[in-house]
């Protein structure tokens, strides 16, 4: 499991820029960022090194941010990689709230898929049982 | 021992109180006739043989005060005046009120009654966060607190970190604060890493702006104190006109100083106790600037029956709004205080809010900006949508119109110290 940072965003121009500028000035490297929104508000989801410290920086600058535990699964970057993971979720009746993916730095041929599920601990065990690679915090290269 | 300041006058029987009112009314009337305004207005009136006869006197409004600016209502030689207070005058000529030495002393007595009635004593340390200048809120309480014998800190508004520092270092037990500023100051405590419940603070007097029962109980919970509602207006003296006792069930009007009526704001007809309308007040003891049947524009009702505390001075309900800040939305009368009440009921909604009214086509649209709390943001759109729906539902059931609601970040709505402006009519 890894720690993702979720930041509340009002849908206003420039909000994302403010977040990224703030992190840049604090020398925080954003490993990946996914942005989801409705007409009304958005949530920016970030994977960074030392998430606890970054949440503090965001809070001190009046952003609303929190840590969300998510699953990061390593799959080969070719056809069928995602389907394999989803099959496991489907079989055990796990609902995926959202997901996004990014390419790994250390293995350019592998992709990292990030999943938000209700009970990540349980899903993690099921994925490992099916021979899938669940990545932990220290495995991600920044 | 009963918590009180002036046992004789606070615990008069109704009969004695009304007898006293009639004597004072006639005395006041003779005095008022010395002013330019009342020498004309009262030329046909001889005396009042009953309190009810006050109804033959025409109402006085803020406009009358402006038209007779500055000395038209003054009934004493200018050499007897020792102080003036003034409204900000943002909407034209300011309203200026004058005091003689006795007026100031009476005013301090009334504040002392308010403070003692709610348990204040000379052992207390009192921080006054109201403006100490032309605004009556600061100096009014200042002299009352000194009369009680409290150690009085005339802090004035703003500068939250320093307010908090004073409260902590001097073991402040009693504060006088605007309800909106109390909410704002709470985030200052969080930033300073201090839990206000650890302070010695036990009582707050909140007033000078209409607020809901929900906001009062939030203030009480956040600070772990009792918050008493205070009512006043500079035309009468300032704060100290009506005040809650320990039972917190309506504000006792000091009826040996002010004669109160509630009228229908449209027809001007006097309404029986219990019915809601505009509060009309007559000063009974003011020397410098007596006013008869002054229309306060404040909407309330007189609570029928006698209070458990034993004072027969009648109580008014918390101010529902001002007859001039009523919003008419698609023909429905709405008060900003109703919006606050509905918002405070929703769990997960922060302290500050802003209201805008827009014209969309032919229709009025109420747009409400409401803050999330750190806890209510969960990384889940469903939760955010649900929270938003709850806010809409709560507003809808209170106002009977469907508002547009925007959830914004905690503490992102700016509240300036001073009377908070929360409603912006963009029509």
Closest residue on chain A to B376 (Cα):
A64
Chain B residue numbers touching A36 (CB-CB < 8 A)? 381
Percent of chain B exceeding pLDDT 70 equals: 97
How confident is residue A105, by pLDDT bands cut at 50, 70 and 90?
A: confident
Chain A residue numbers touching B379 (CB-CB < 8 A)? 6, 43, 45, 66, 68, 116
Say yes or no: A24 contacts chain B, CB-CB below 8 A: no
The pLDDT, as a whole number, for residue B419 is: 58
Beta strand residue intervals within B77-159, DSSP E: 81-86, 96-100, 125-128, 151-153
- Tens digit of each residue's pLDDT (9 = 90 or more) over B162-214: 999 999 999 999 999 999 889 889 989 988 999 999 999 999 999 887 788 99
How many of the other CB atoms lie within 10 Å of CB of B229? 22
The pLDDT, as a whole number, for residue B359 is: 85
Longest distance between any two alpha carbons in chain A, whole Å? 45
Model ipTM value: 0.81
Domains, chain B: 1-324 (3.40.50.12780), 327-425 (3.30.300.30)
Closest residue on chain A to B374 (Cα):
A64
The pLDDT, as a whole number, for residue B209 is: 79
Chain B residue numbers touching A116 (CB-CB < 8 A)? 379
Candidates B61, B53, B29; CA nearest to B43 is B29
Candidates B289, B232, B230; CA nearest to B260 is B232
Q: With CB atoms and an 8 Å threshold, state whether B378 touches A36.
A: no
Chosen from A15, A40, A58 to mutate, greatest number of chain B CBs within 10 A? A40
- Tens digit of each residue's pLDDT (9 = 90 or more) over B17-37: 999 999 999 999 999 999 999
Say yes or no: A47 contacts chain B, CB-CB below 8 A: no
Highest mean pLDDT among A12-21, B113-122, B317-326: B113-122
The pLDDT, as a whole number, for residue B410 is: 86
pTM tops 0.80, yes or no = no
How confident is residue B276, by pLDDT bands cut at 50, 70 and 90?
A: very high
Chosen from B378, B379, B382, B407 to mutate, greatest number of chain A CBs within 10 A? B379
Q: With CB atoms and an 8 Å threshold, state whether A40 touches B406.
A: yes
Highest mean pLDDT among A89-103, B9-23, B83-97: B9-23
Q: With CB atoms and an 8 Å threshold, state whether B379 touches A38.
A: no
Q: With CB atoms and an 8 Å threshold, state whether B377 touches A66.
A: yes
Ranking A91-95, A138-142, B103-107, B320-324 by mean pLDDT, the lowest is: A138-142
- Tens digit of each residue's pLDDT (9 = 90 or more) over B236-250: 999 999 999 999 999
The pLDDT, as a whole number, for residue B404 is: 92
The pLDDT, as a whole number, for residue B420 is: 65
Closest residue on chain A to B384 (Cα):
A41
C-alpha torsion sign, points B416, B299, B288, B285 = negative
Contacts 24+ apart (CB under 8 A), B75-83: B75/B31, B75/B32, B75/B33, B75/B34, B75/B35, B75/B38, B75/B287, B75/B288, B75/B289, B75/B290, B76/B34, B76/B100, B76/B287, B76/B288, B80/B287, B80/B288, B81/B288
Q: With CB atoms and an 8 Å threshold, state whether A38 touches B385.
A: yes
Of B153 and A35, more confident: B153
Candidates B136, B55, B146; CA nearest to B88 is B136
Q: With CB atoms and an 8 Å threshold, state whether A41 touches B380.
A: no
From CA A140, how far away is CA A124, in angstroms rounded?
A: 17
Q: With CB atoms and an 8 Å threshold, state whether A6 touches B374.
A: no
How confident is residue B418, by pLDDT bands cut at 50, 70 and 90?
A: low
- Tens digit of each residue's pLDDT (9 = 90 or more) over A33-52: 998 888 788 899 999 989 99
> Which one of A36, A43, A64 has the shortest CB-CB distance to B409?
A64
The pLDDT, as a whole number, for residue B211 is: 86
- In this prediction, residues A12-16 reach a mean pLDDT of 83
Domains, chain A: 2-68 (3.30.2130.10), 71-136 (3.30.70.260)
- In this prediction, residues B136-155 reach a mean pLDDT of 97
pLDDT at A93 over 60: yes
Say yes or no: A66 contacts chain B, CB-CB below 8 A: yes
Say yes or no: A118 contacts chain B, CB-CB below 8 A: no
Closest residue on chain B to A11 (Cα):
B408
The residues facing A112 across adjacent strands are A74, A102
Candidates B392, B349, B389, B352; CA nearest to B373 is B349
Q: With CB atoms and an 8 Å threshold, state whether B377 touches A116.
A: no
> Between the CA of residue A32 and those of A12, A18, A26, B241, what are the distances in Å?
21, 16, 17, 62
CB contact at 8 A, B107 and B258? no
pLDDT at B88 over 70: no
CB contact at 8 A, A43 and A37? yes
Chain A residue numbers touching B385 (CB-CB < 8 A)? 38
């Amino acid at each position: 499991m890894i720690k993702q940072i979720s930041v509340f965003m009002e849908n206003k121009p420039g909000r994302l820029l403010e977040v990224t500028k703030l992190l840049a000035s604090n020398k925080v490297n954003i490993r990946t960022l996914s942005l989801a929104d409705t007409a009304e508000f958005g949530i920016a989801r970030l994977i960074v090194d030392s998430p606890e410290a970054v949440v503090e920086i965001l809070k001190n600058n009046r952003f609303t941010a929190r840590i969300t535990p998510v699953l990061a699964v390593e799959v080969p970057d070719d056809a069928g990689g995602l389907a394999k993971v989803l099959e496991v979720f489907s079989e055990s009746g796990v609902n995926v709230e959202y997901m996004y993916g990014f390419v790994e730095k250390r293995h350019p041929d592998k992709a990292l898929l990030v999943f938000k599920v209700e009970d990540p601990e349980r899903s993690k065990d099921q994925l490992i049982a099916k021979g899938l690679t669940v990545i932990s915090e220290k495995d991600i290269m920044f | 021992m009963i918590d009180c300041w002036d046992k004789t006058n606070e615990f008069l029987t109704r009969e004695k109180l009304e007898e006293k009112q009639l004597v004072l009314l006639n005395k006041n009337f003779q005095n008022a006739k010395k002013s330019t305004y009342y020498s004309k207005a009262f030329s046909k009136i001889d005396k009042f043989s009953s309190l009810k006869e006050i109804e033959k006197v025409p109402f006085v409004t803020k406009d009358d005060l402006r038209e007779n600016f500055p000395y038209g209502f003054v009934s004493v030689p200018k050499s007897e005046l020792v102080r003036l207070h003034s409204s900000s005058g943002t909407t034209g000529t300011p309203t200026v009120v004058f005091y003689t030495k006795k007026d100031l002393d009476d005013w301090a007595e009334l504040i002392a009654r308010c403070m003692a009635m709610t348990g204040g004593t000379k052992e207390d340390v009192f921080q006054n966060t109201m403006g100490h200048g032309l605004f009556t809120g600061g100096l009014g309480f200042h002299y009352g607190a000194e009369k009680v014998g409290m150690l009085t800190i005339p802090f004035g508004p703003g500068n939250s970190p320093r307010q908090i520092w004073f409260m902590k270092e001097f073991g402040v037990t009693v504060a006088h604060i605007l309800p909106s500023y109390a909410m704002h100051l709470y985030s200052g405590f969080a930033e300073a890493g201090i839990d206000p419940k650890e302070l010695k603070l036990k009582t707050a007097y909140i007033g000078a702006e209409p607020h809901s029962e929900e906001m009062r109980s939030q203030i009480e919970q956040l600070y772990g104190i009792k918050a008493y509602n205070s009512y006043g207006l500079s035309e009468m003296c300032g704060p100290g006109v009506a005040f809650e006792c320990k039972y917190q069930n309506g504000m006792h009007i000091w009826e040996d100083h002010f004669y109160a009526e509630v009228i229908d704001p449209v027809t001007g007809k006097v309404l029986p106790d219990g019915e809601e309308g505009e509060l009309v007040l007559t000063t009974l003891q003011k020397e410098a600037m007596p006013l008869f049947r002054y229309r306060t524009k404040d909407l309330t009702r007189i609570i029928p029956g006698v209070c458990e505390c034993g004072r027969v001075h009648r109580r008014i309900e918390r101010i529902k709004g001002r007859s001039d800040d009523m919003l008419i939305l698609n023909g429905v009368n709405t008060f900003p205080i109703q919006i606050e009440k509905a918002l405070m009921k929703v769990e997960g909604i922060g302290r500050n809010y802003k209201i805008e009214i827009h014209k969309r086509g032919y229709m009025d649209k109420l747009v409400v900006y409401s803050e999330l709390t750190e806890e209510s943001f969960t990384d889940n759109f469903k939760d955010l949508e649900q929270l938003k729906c709850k806010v809409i539902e709560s507003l809808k059931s209170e106002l009977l119109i469907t508002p547009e609601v925007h959830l914004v970040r905690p503490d992102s709505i700016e509240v300036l110290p001073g009377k908070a402006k929360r409603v912006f009519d963009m029509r």
